[in-house]
Amino acid sequence: MEKFDEATQKELASFLEKEQAQAKLHSSIHHFTTLCWDKCITGTPSTRFSRGEESCLANCVERFLDTSLFMVKRIELQREQAQFSGVGA
């Protein structure tokens, strides 16, 4: 069996990396969609979203990401404080 030359192997590797990143992005979008659907769409589905539902979906994604950043900051802060009190003790 013939082998790909080095340039082609590299090309395929970077192609796979890109596709993997894309797949990861998609899986997050699937996750957010279910999360925010459950939060925002409480009534029986109609022929179109109400204004409130649509903005709730967009806000839901933004606030979820804010939450995730907030949590990281919070943990960092707590760890810092624990370090300082550790030095003081």
Q: Please give the residue ranges that form the binding site for other proteins (CB under 8 A).
A: 2, 4-5, 8, 11-12, 15-16, 19, 22-23, 25-30, 32-34, 36-38, 40-41, 44-49, 54, 57-58, 60-62, 65
Q: Are 21 and 41 in contact, with CB atoms under 8 Å apart?
A: no
Rounded least distance, CB 82 to other proteins, Å: 28
* Residue 7 in tokens: 């340039």
Q: What is the distance between the alpha carbons of residues 74 and 68, in angstroms, rounded to a whole number? A: 10
Nearer to other proteins, 50 or 83 (CB): 50
